[in-house]
Amino acid sequence: MQTIFGFDSIVRDWPETTVCIGVFDGMHLGHRSIVREAVDRARAEGRPSVAVTFDRHPMAVIAPSNCPQHISTLDDNLAEMAELGVDIAVVAVFDLAFSRLSADDFLQHYLLGKLCAREMVVGHDFALGHNRTGTTEWLSERIPTHVLPPLELDGERISSSRIRDYISQGRVNEAGRMIGGNYSLSGSVTRGQRLGTELGVPTANLVPIIDQVLPAPGIYAGLSSVDGRVYSAAVSVGFRPAVPDAGFAVEAHFMDYSGGDLYGRTISLEFVDRLRDELNFESLAALKQQMNVDIERAREVLVHHG
């Protein structure tokens, strides 16, 4: 997949394209259906498929105080697009000037002019241009447009906002079903208090690299890939009440890991299922005992999930 950052970086070498466009945060099942439809239609017509997304959430510019937290990183979203067979991904720079473009200017200058779009594939709630005046009906009157209906799972509409709600409630299993895979948090491993090492259960302290939504405080079963190998993990999210002045942290114990330290490395941590609420303990010995119980429980859950 060719990735182009900014419409001004486009050097056009195609006569026409099929284009889908959206924020695509999290690339959930609904997003994937839109992208897959665009790819299939492009291939049927023998033209390149183009997925247009943004370098930030539009709300970060339009209404920063209401901007939602990310579900995934831009790199992860682009990787999903590549797996779905997208030929060209365009990452538009969503700044104040871009937010003020009229729907007609966006269509004429960027979609028709820069991308040579001959058909569009969008979701049911899509709109483009300043004040979202370019509705699906408006777009359909100007270019062949395929509007996909909302996708449901067990009678519930799949949406980024619903997925964020599930994650923030700790319902990572339900969020994962809508995503079509485990919810993944990307972060840099930093030095913590090393209490886990002292207790014989070393942990990696993860600091998110972007403002991603965090699971509710609690203990989770998870997975992480380190140097090409996938490790099972028991993950703690929260304030660690048994440790005075510990503060909030996301910590993961990787089972059977025997490599070097991970400090300074960026890793992704997948949340598979929630094990329990965060608890307080009367002593560090009691905490250690519970940590070992959590590790075994996480191992069992991960075996069950395959």
How confident is the prediction along the chain (306 residues), in pLDDT tens digits per residue? Answer: 999 999 999 998 899 999 999 999 999 999 999 999 999 999 999 999 999 999 999 999 999 999 999 999 999 999 999 999 999 999 999 999 999 999 999 999 999 999 999 999 999 999 999 999 999 999 999 999 999 999 999 999 999 999 999 999 999 999 999 999 999 999 999 887 666 666 668 889 999 999 999 999 999 999 998 888 899 999 999 987 667 666 788 999 999 888 778 888 999 999 999 999 998 887 878 888 888 999 999 999 999 887
Three-state DSSP state, 284: helix
Q: Note the pLDDT of residue 197.
A: 65
* Fold held by 2-157: Rossmann fold (3.40.50)
Q: How far is it, in rounded angstroms, from Cα 280 to Cα 298? A: 19
* 93, two tokens: 């720079």
Distances (CA, A) of 23 to 71, 126, 199, 268, 274: 11, 10, 44, 21, 28
> pTM value?
0.92
For residue 82, the tally of other CB atoms under 10 A from its CB is 15
Q: Note the pLDDT of residue 199.
A: 65
* 225, two tokens: 């890939």
Convert 230-261 to b/e letters by CB count within 10 Å (16 or more is b).
ebbbbbbbbebebeeeeeebbbbbbeebeeee
Q: Note the pLDDT of residue 261.
A: 81
Rounded to 5 degrees, what are φ and ψ at 52?
A: -105, 125
Q: How far is it, in rounded angstroms, from Cα 268 to Cα 224? A: 6
Rounded to 5 degrees, what are φ and ψ at 269?
A: -115, 120
Q: Note the pLDDT of residue 140.
A: 97
Q: Note the pLDDT of residue 194.
A: 64
CB-based contacts of 168, cutoff 8 Å, min separation 6: 213, 214, 215, 216
Q: Note the pLDDT of residue 228.
A: 83
Q: How far is it, in rounded angstroms, from Cα 120 to Cα 3? A: 19
Q: Note the pLDDT of residue 193.
A: 66
Distances (CA, A) of 1 to 50, 56, 205: 10, 20, 33
Radius of gyration for the chain, computed over Cα atoms and rounded to the nearest angstrom: 22
Q: Where are the domains of the chain?
A: 2-157, 172-305
The secondary structure of residue 176, as a DSSP letter, is: H
CA nearest 185: which of 300, 26, 296, 32?
Answer: 26
* Fold held by 172-305: Elongation Factor Tu (Ef-tu); domain 3 (2.40.30)
